């Protein structure tokens, strides 16, 4: 039986029209022998706008639920996740060829690495792409590195949480995505960074769409009071996790694994 990586996508009405492009980027993935993907699409709400854009493919499952934001949608979607790894793919984004294979190669080869991220390019409305400076070096990211950079750089993480691929058991242990109105993915990234080593792939693995209707472009996302509250909660959680001393993999297991 093939091993599976579950790709989790939260979607709402305005972003549903981009699902076919996200699906095409999934279909273009070439996985190692013995691996296959499953796409778990969860609507944040119960509208009639999303289902028409969901591909008719046995590898794709679609559900709806009460509105709670993208973090809630992704977390409830974990009930349908199978296999050892979960890959994030926002409804309006696209994977580049080889992205999933690179994630799997790292996580299979390095048991002490709990999660991976990659270089991300902005996908602009005219179809062009744009990068930005400041990516870390290709390779492992030690615990605490993300939080330190985020704190020193006005709450800007050194890697993009929309490109996460994570061990499913670790994601579940941390409770999935944070129950925040925004930055729920950054909150998860900081929690992962607090308890486990990560990995950054310098090869572009995600096209992050910029468009007029995206949630992060709305005025509410930039509200100073809410932003202060979001960052405070995310930081407090990460620091508490680090202080408790629990790490992934557990100390006994780590002693039997190799270090990249």
- At 215-258, the pLDDT tens digits run 665 667 778 999 999 999 999 999 999 999 999 998 766 544 44
For residue 103, the domain's CATH number is: 3.90.550.10
Tally of domains in the chain: 1
Can you tell me the distance from the alpha carbon of 192 to that of 177, in angstroms, rounded to the nearest whole number? 11
103-105-110 Cα angle (round to 5): 100
Residue 211 lies in a domain: yes
Cite the DSSP H helix spans in 95-197: 99-109, 145-152, 168-173, 184-195
At residue 217, the pLDDT reads 59
- Is the model's pTM score more than 0.85? yes
Residue 66 lies in a domain: yes
* Residue 199 reports pLDDT greater than 50: yes
Using the structure block, give the residue that is written with the tokens 């408790």: 244
Residue 86 CB partners (closer than 8 Å, separation 6+):
5, 6, 7, 8, 78, 165, 166, 167, 168, 171
* Residue 193 reports pLDDT greater than 70: yes
Residue 182 lies in a domain: yes
* Residue 186 reports pLDDT greater than 70: yes
pLDDT band at 259, cuts 50/70/90? very low
Helix, strand, coil tally for the chain in percent (to 5): 40, 25, 35
Residue-range definition of the domain harbouring residue 249: 3-254
Residue 126 lies in a domain: yes
At residue 255, the pLDDT reads 42
Structure tokens at 3: 């091993």
Residue 8 lies in a domain: yes
CB 190 within 8 A of CB 150: yes
Residue 16 lies in a domain: yes
Residue 259 lies in a domain: no
* Residue 8 reports pLDDT greater than 90: yes
Residue 57 lies in a domain: yes
């Amino acid at each position: 039986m093939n091993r599976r990586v579950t790709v989790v996508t939260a979607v709402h009405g305005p972003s549903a029209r981009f699902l076919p492009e996200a699906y095409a980027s999934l279909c273009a993935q070439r996985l190692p022998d013995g691996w296959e993907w499953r796409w778990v699409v969860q609507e944040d709400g119960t509208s009639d706008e999303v289902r028409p854009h969901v591909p008719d493919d046995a590898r794709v499952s679609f559900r709806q639920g009460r509105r709670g934001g993208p973090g809630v949608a992704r977390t409830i979607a974990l009930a349908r996740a199978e296999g050892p790894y979960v890959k994030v793919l926002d409804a309006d984004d696209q994977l580049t060829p080889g992205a999933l294979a690179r994630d799997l190669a790292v996580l299979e080869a390095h048991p002490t690495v709990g999660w991976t991220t990659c270089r991300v390019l902005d996908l602009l409305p005219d179809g062009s792409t744009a990068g930005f400076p400041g990516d870390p070096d290709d390779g492992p990211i030690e615990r605490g590195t993300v939080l330190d950079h985020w704190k020193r750089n006005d709450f800007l993480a050194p890697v993009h949480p929309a490109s996460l691929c994570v061990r499913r058991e670790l994601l579940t242990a941390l409770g999935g995505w944070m129950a925040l109105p925004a930055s729920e993915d950054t909150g998860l990234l900081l929690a992962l960074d607090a308890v486990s080593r990560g990995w950054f792939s310098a090869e572009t693995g995600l096209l992050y769409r910029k468009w007029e209707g995206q949630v992060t472009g709305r005025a509410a996302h930039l509200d100073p009071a809410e932003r202060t509250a979001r960052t405070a909660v995310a930081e407090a959680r990460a620091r508490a996790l680090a202080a408790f001393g629990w790490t992934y993999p557990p100390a006994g297991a780590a002693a039997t694994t190799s270090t990249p």
